[in-house]
Structure 1
Amino acid sequence: MRYAQLVLGPAGSGKSTYCAAIQKHAETLNRVINVVNLDPAAEAFSYNALFDVRDLIHVDDVMQAEDMDFGPNGGLVFCMEYLMEPDGREWLKEQLGDYDDDCILFDCPGQIELYTHMDVMKRMVQQLQSWDFRVCAVFILDAGYMADASKFLSGSLTALSVMVQLEVPHLNVLTKMDLLNQAAQEQIETFLEPEIHELLVSDHSVSKFNKKYRKLTSALGQVLEEFSLVRYIPLNINKEESLTDLLIQADFALQYGEDADVKTQDFEYPDPEDEEPDVDFN
């Protein structure tokens, strides 16, 4: 059995930083976690990549091709679609190898359409599962963006859309907590507590526009709360305990190590006939 985390999220949310931090943290635990760059438009990253999709196809090459007329977004979609073509799948399978008990993080592109309403990442999940991978999605959101109530609701609905689209175990992570000031951290913490819909409504009751849609905002927040559909894990990459907690939850979602053989040891019991007889001194 092999394990895969699809690290998803908007551009600039901290996906590559998350992968680098988890990889480095795993080293302190004497554990190997590999990372794959799956972003054809990536410019730089700080982790040690198992392999790089840009060796197969690069978004710049697609945009410069004379027989194509793609912009940056269209070129990125073309690259991901090509990866799911027979030649792309064969290349991906060869790069992944056939090692057992691998845990691999796939650093995915930052184009949100790939996860919310296109099926290319869904096909990626199905392909990995056919290769005996257990897959979970780690959806990354910038905590600084989520400190505002309206943006918190927007981000939560986006996370929910990704969850519904991919249909795999899912973790939502708020990154860059270390960059927030005290007031912003306290605001985030209030959203992580119960009564989310009430908090959203109170923040949305400022303008006439927001008052008009107060019931809608309350209903959306109540759905998120009552069905426990979206929950967040705050991540501070400067704190080892924060990284440990997140890795534990990711392992739980993947059931990492559940299929490992139980280590047993045979014990030799003494033969009763070989025991020395009791000596009677009377």
Structure 2
Amino acid sequence: MAFAQVLIGPPGAGKTTYCNGMKHFLTGIGRKVAIINLDPGNDLLPFTPDVDISELISVADVMDNLHLGPNGSLIYCMEYLEKNVDWLLKKLENLKDYYLLFDCPGQVELYTHHNSFKNILQKLLKLNFKLVAVHLVDSHYCSDPSKFISVLLTSLSTMLQLELPHINVLSKIDLVETYGKLAFNLDYYTEVSDLNYLLDHLEDVPFVKKFKKLNEAMIGLIQDYSLVSFCTLNIQDKDSMLNVMKLVDKANGYVFGDLEERNMQALMSCAVGADFEYFKAASVQEKYMKNEDEHGKMDDDAS
């Protein structure tokens, strides 16, 4: 049995950075961690993976030999890995005592409706791998209501397709205000409470206004399933990393031992100087976003 995180999400969400940061974090509290690179198009890694799909196949080779585009080549690579999944399983046999981080491609079709990646994960599940999908989404999507609805639909489709314990994460939360002012407090986006409020903001966009009924139907679909919510992540913040780790451990059933718990307490006492509480949306709001009063004061000072 091995515990593992499967890092998925669109390009630029920070999956590789997450793997690098989470490995350092988990190693610091006593876990043996290995990173498995399953992205055949990622040849600029900030770490040396313990297993690398490029030893089997790469997007560059497929493009050169089969004259496919980058997206078609990536799908071909996943189908090739599915047919040669024994190669991966043999590599993983040498990592039985490790906690695994799977760094996966950024093509969302692989997680929403294409079956090869799902079939690979099902093979691992049958071998008693305890998997949890960690779906990273760049927090800048919160600044645009239409993009946020698209992200919600993608997240929901991924959850239904992969059929794994699932954690949705708003990454780069420390940069959320640099992307533009949010229409609502951050907890509105993390809890995904009442999406009908987004429709009022969509009506301000002339092109989008034509599709009001379609937007209402999509919002209704998301709310009917009531599955999508988000936690927040700043990869450079230890208590933010700890919150995500706790959510992942709860999802895949990982229970750490006494030594690891003591190491974690020591690590966090150095980081925050007190007993740690969950890294909630309210604290993120306060830490990274200016409230209306502060904005007003800044305007008054400027005048």
Residues 206 and 255 of structure 1: CA distance in aligned 2, closer, same or farther (over 3 Å)? same
**Equivalence for 1:246:** 244
**Equivalence for 1:236:** 234
Give the secondary-structure state (helix, strand or coil) at the position aligned to 2:51.
Answer: strand
Residues 100 and 135 of structure 1: CA distance in aligned 2, closer, same or farther (over 3 Å)? same
**Equivalence for 1:162:** 158
CA distance in 2, matches of 1:91, 1:53: 9
Equivalent AA in structure 1 for residue 215 of structure 2: T
CA distance in 2, matches of 1:194, 1:15: 23
Number of residue pairs matched? 255
1:223 offset after TM fit, Å? 4.1
The answer as to whether partners of 1:172 and 1:230 remain within 8 angstroms in 2 is: yes
CA distance in 1, matches of 2:192, 2:150: 18
The answer as to whether partners of 1:40 and 1:58 remain within 8 angstroms in 2 is: yes
Give the secondary-structure state (helix, strand or coil) at the position aligned to 1:63.
Answer: helix
1:53 offset after TM fit, Å? 0.6
The answer as to whether partners of 1:139 and 1:173 remain within 8 angstroms in 2 is: yes
The answer as to whether partners of 2:133 and 2:167 remain within 8 angstroms in 1 is: yes
**Equivalence for 1:95:** 91
Give the secondary-structure state (helix, strand or coil) at the position aligned to 1:192.
Answer: helix
CA distance in 1, matches of 2:77, 2:224: 39
Moved more, 244-253 or 54-63: 54-63
| Of 196, 199, 209, the match for 2:197 | 199
The answer as to whether partners of 2:191 and 2:229 remain within 8 angstroms in 1 is: no
**Equivalence for 1:280:** none
CA distance in 2, matches of 1:2, 1:131: 9
1:215 offset after TM fit, Å? 4.2
Equivalent AA in structure 2 for residue 55 of structure 1: E
CA distance in 1, matches of 2:134, 2:91: 22
Give the secondary-structure state (helix, strand or coil) at the position aligned to 2:227.
Answer: coil
* 1:139 lines up with 2:139 in the alignment: no
**Equivalence for 1:273:** none
Which is higher, the Rg of structure 1 or of structure 2? Answer: 1
Provide Cα deviations, 1:182-207, integer angstroms capped at 9, x if missing partner. 76478560323464313211211214
The answer as to whether partners of 2:142 and 2:182 remain within 8 angstroms in 1 is: no
TM-score, normalised to structure 1's length?
0.82
In structure 2, runs of 5+ residues without a counterpart are 258-303
In structure 1, runs of 5+ residues without a counterpart are 261-282
**Equivalence for 1:224:** 222
**Equivalence for 2:50:** 50
Residues 84 and 188 of structure 1: CA distance in aligned 2, closer, same or farther (over 3 Å)? farther
Listed as ranges, the matches of 1:1-282 within 5 Å are 1-65=1-65, 68-85=66-83, 88-97=84-93, 99-100=95-96, 102-181=98-177, 184=181, 187=184, 189=186, 190-193=188-191, 195-225=193-223, 227-257=225-255
Equivalent AA in structure 2 for residue 235 of structure 1: L
Give the secondary-structure state (helix, strand or coil) at the position aligned to 1:35.
Answer: strand
Q: CA RMSD in A?
A: 2.2
CA distance in 2, matches of 1:32, 1:50: 12
Provide Cα deviations, 1:3-50, integer angstroms capped at 9, x if missing partner. 222111111111101111111111221222221111111021223411
Equivalent AA in structure 1 for residue 153 of structure 2: L
Equivalent AA in structure 1 for residue 9 of structure 2: G
Percent sequence identity over matched residues? 38
Moved more, 2-11 or 182-191: 182-191
| Structure with a larger share of its residues in helix | 2
**Equivalence for 2:289:** none
Residues 185 and 241 of structure 1: CA distance in aligned 2, closer, same or farther (over 3 Å)? farther
Give the secondary-structure state (helix, strand or coil) at the position aligned to 2:204.
Answer: coil
TM-score, normalised to structure 2's length?
0.77
